[in-house]
Structure 1
Amino acid sequence: MSVDEKQSGRFEAGKLSWLLQFPEPIEARYEAAHGRRRVATMRASIVVGLLIYNLYNITSVVLLPDILWSTVAVRVLGVTVIAVLFAVCLDGLSARWRERLALITLTGAALLPIGFYWVSNAAYAGYTVGEFGLMLAYGNMLLCLRFVHALVFTSVHVSVALLAFDTKPGGDPGLQFAFSLQVVSAAIFTLYANYRTERQRCTGYLTALAAWQRSANAESASQRYKTMSRTDSLTGLLNRRALDEELQRWFRGSRRPQEAGLAVIMLDIDHFKPYNDCLGHPAGDRCLGEVAKVLRSISAGHGALCTRFGGEEFVIVVFDIQPGQAQAVADELADGVRALDIPHPARPDGKHCITVSVGVAMTRPGGGSHDADSLLAAADEALYSAKDNGRDRIEFPAIA
């Protein structure tokens, strides 16, 4: 669904045909949300319809005595049995065939009273015309056929009824005109009611769908902004804000393993300013990106959090780890950067490639009494000790 479809009016105009039909994707969504309810209401309508439909077996005693047993047999053994089978099988039908079979079954049931009227020679057979309008009301308003099906049902029903009025032997012209006017009026009334009900159903769903989409878009945008606010744009690593949040979450945790601690590994690219001054900032950015890739890869292998702390500094947080293991991770990170073998033509210490200085700080097993700020400060102090002691080395002070 596009952004332009967020306003319900435009969404509705673009997606709902004049026959009140959804496109296939929206129809599928509607069916998934409302299919069971449709089956339940249709089943209830069939039960009510059959009860009323079979009441006319009683009126046939007076109105159609010459074909009484034929009408009873057709209603009970034909229409009722088929309708019951249809109601039982509703759950196993697709939405398309459910609605089509409802149209076919109802049309057949509605045409039978017209046939009874046409073949009967009873004196009061004309009074069965009252059933014609009730069948229209049932199909269009109670069963509430989909509008396109209601249009077909009404057209067939009215056409056959008018043909029966016109061709019934011995029919009175004045009475035939009155009957025709009644049926056409009932058709217009019930079809209009069906159209309004169906339009309200469709536009209501589209409006709700558009509102849901606006909400989903807002939630998605919020999530994107949240992700962006926690991500360093140059390296794609988590940023200082995300680092602080994750450390605070760990220190607030009440179920940290008591046998392991938390290691903060702080790295700084050695003599990075001369590298930038010599090769330019674009080269410096590429260097940061390459270092970030290897740090992320190694961190992922240890389930560690890899962040860009700022400038040429990176922080890797390893959760639930022993001191000896933290030393091994720090060694692996430093070796990984050396293995990149990125030339550094401006190093003042005689070395010729990019390296890192590393400071490591750890909590005591179970977290100790320290907080995130003091742990970062300890790692920073260890890092500066590594730089003061010649760079390209790891300092691992006592457990914090």
Structure 2
Amino acid sequence: MEDAVLPEQVLNPEEIRALRDVASESRRGVRMPARLEEEFEAHERRAARVTRICLGLIPVFSFGTAPFWQDAVTGTPPELVVLLLWIELGIVVPLFIAVTLSQLRRVESAMAELLLMGGFLLVVACVELIRYRGHDLGHIVEPYLVLTIPVAVVTLARLPLARCIAFVAGYIAVLVVAWLLPGDSPGRGTQELILEVLLLGTALLTAFGTRLSSRRQWAAGKLLSMMAFRDPLTGLANRRALEDRYEIACRTVSRGQQRGMFFALLDMDHFKKVNDLYGHEYGDGVLAELGLVLAQYARRSMDMAARLGGDEFALLLYDCDLNDGRERLAELLDTIRNLGIEHRANHAAVVTVSAGGVAVGPNVPLSDAYHAADHCLYKAKHAGRDNLYVEDLAEKAARRSR
């Protein structure tokens, strides 16, 4: 979607810690929060699209062309021909055309994944039925042909580990049901059973190792992507993320869907003196505290708090007019003052901030909003700091035109 929020910009601290645990191979890095797990699964399904499509096409071509070669290659008894044609052309080929199309068009859907698994389990059941009927007619179908199905699906389809185990369990259930059918079952010898256990175990271990490696690579990539949009000290968005969000919000406002936006700049009062009196480590701690407070005032999906550098912060409030923006800024300044963070060089002996904000209408570039908010910030500081000043850009432009 055009107006979707960039995921790198909205990661909360819990999600960041989880990503770091996974990327660093920490013992805690086994599970991620639900939203990240869903995002990772969608990524895995997209990455497996081509492989899953190929897996779906193999039964289409092999079973679809079987009537032309199976008699010459396998010596199919005439009594089996009708059954084989029904299975091949009436069940498997139509089913796997649907499976292939689902992977082509809706690969991120969990239902497409379940359809893939169910389709191959049905193929296992069909092959076991052919083995069962062929055994009565003296036509032997080797069990190795069936074993290739779970091994291929588990190792190539990039299914979640729980679904790999479920698929293998379904495969075993089909074999047990076939073994319990009345009559003389073809069964499996001891060596064949040992081979199946070894190959299935190897396939599951391979799937587990591949999945774990993929999770770590994805988490590391997610963290790197996040760093391009985040300020490392405060955890807030940086200038680049603010530019992206402002552009998205501005396009939505221009379509007349919301009242407008409110853009504000905030500076800490006498920040240089904080570093001079208390040291840079204390100053960094103050900035981090301010970042936490600002984040609480930008909790809606299209709002954003950003650190632009030094002690300069920005606040973008979506669907917000001048009066609401003024109230939010006043509340924010009170909250910061009430933190009571020591700052002896400030007139209140605690940390305070000054703010300038502007109500922004459609089609106003960020550069214009920034310069206007910066001018308001200058007026707020000139009025005595720990203060705010706001303007409506549209009204200001109208006054100038008159």
TM value normalised by structure 1: 0.54
Is the 8 Å Cα contact of residues 357 and 389 (structure 2) preserved in structure 1? yes
Q: Within 1, Cα distance between the matches of 2:301 and 2:133?
A: 71
Q: Which has the higher mean CA deviation after the structures are superposed, 284-293 or 318-327?
A: 284-293
Give distance in 2, aligned partners of 1:302 and 1:204. Answer: 42
| Corresponding residue SS for 2:219 | helix
Separation in structure 2 between the aligned mates of residue 240 and residue 325 of structure 1, nearest angstrom: 24
- Offset of 1:219 from its aligned partner? 3.2
**Which amino acid is the alignment partner of residue 369 of structure 2?**
L
Tell me by how many angstroms 1:248 deviates.
1.9
Q: Partner residue of 2:338?
A: 339
Match of 1:52 in 2: 134
Letter in 2 for 1:257: G
Match of 2:118 in 1: 36
Report the Cα offset of residue 357 of structure 1: 0.8
- How far residue 373 of structure 1 moved from its aligned partner, in angstroms, is 1.4
| Change in CA separation of 1:43 and 1:292 when aligned onto 2, cut-off 3 Å | closer
Does residue 235 of structure 1 match 2:229? no
Give, in whole Å, the separation in 2 of the partners of 1:391 and 1:383.
9
Residue of structure 2 equivalent to 1:362: 359
Pair 1:291–1:259, CA change in 2 (3 A) = closer
The Cα RMSD (Å) is: 3.7
Q: 1:371 aligns with which of 340, 345, 365?
A: 365
For residue 98 of structure 1, report the CA deviation from its aligned partner: 3.6
Aligned to 1:392: 386
Instruction: For residues 140-160 of structure 1, give each alpha carbon's deviation from its aligned partner in whole angstroms, at most 9, with x where no partner exists.
Output: 5xxxxxxxxx42xx6xxxxxx
User: Which runs of 5 or more structure 2 residues have no equivalent in the other structure?
Assistant: 1-21, 26-112, 139-166, 395-402
**CA 1:279–1:252: 2 relative to 1, 3 Å:** same
Identify the residue that residue 310 of structure 1 maps to in structure 2: 309
SS at match of 1:264: strand
Summarize deviations over 1:166-198 as a string: whole Å, max 9, x none. xxxxxxxxxxxxxxxxxxxxxxxxx59x94x98
Contact 2:129 2:178 in 1 (8 A): no
Amino acid in structure 2 at the alignment position of 1:52:
G
What are the ranges of 5 or more consecutive residues in structure 1 without an aligned counterpart?
4-30, 57-90, 111-134, 141-149, 155-190
Answer whether contact 1:302 1:318 (CA < 8 A) is retained: no
Is the CA contact 1:382–1:397 (under 8 Å) kept in the aligned structure 2? yes
2:282 aligned with 1:286: no
**Cα shift at 1:252:** 3.5
Give per-residue Cα distances to partners, 1:85-136, cap 9 Å, x unaligned: xxxxxx9x85444434545669x726xxxxxxxxxxxxxxxxxxxxxxxx5x
Residues 243/105 of structure 1: CA separation in 2 closer, same or farther (3 Å cut): same
1:275–1:48 distance in 2 versus 1, CA, 3 Å: closer
Task: Quote the Cα distance in structure 2 between the aligned partners of 1:270 and 1:249.
Answer: 31
Instruction: Establish whether residue 99 from structure 1 lines up as the match of residue 96 from structure 2.
Output: no
Q: In the TM superposition, what is the alpha-carbon distance from 1:344 to its structure 2 partner? A: 1.3
> Structure 2-normalised TM-score?
0.54
* SS in structure 1 of the partner of residue 273 of structure 2: helix
- d(CA) in 1 for partners of 2:287 and 2:263? 20
SS of the residue aligned with 1:222?
A: helix
SS state at 1:342 partner: coil
| CA separation of 1:109 and 1:259: change in aligned 2, threshold 3 A | closer
Whichever residue aligns with residue 245 of structure 1, its letter is D
Query: Partner letter of residue 265 of structure 2?
Result: M
- From 349, 363, 387, give the equivalent of 1:352: 349
Where does residue 184 of structure 2 map in the other structure?
Answer: 109
- Report SS of the residue matched to 1:300: coil
1:144 aligns with none
- SS of 2:262's equivalent? strand
Amino acid at match of 2:129: V
Higher normalized helix content (fraction of residues): 1
Aligned counterparts of 2:115 and 2:206: Cα–Cα separation in 1: 14
Matches within 5 A, 1:103-252: 103=179, 109=184, 135=186, 139=187, 150-151=189-190, 191=192, 195=195, 214-252=213-251
CA distance change for structure 1 residues 255 and 222 in 2, over 3 Å: closer, same or farther?
Answer: farther
For the residues of structure 2 that align with 1:257 and 1:237, how far apart are their CA atoms?
Answer: 29
SS in 1 for 2:299: helix
Aligned AA for 2:283? G
| Bigger shift: residues 270-279 or 293-302 | 293-302
Are the aligned partners of 1:257 and 1:320 in contact in 2 as well (CA < 8 Å)? no
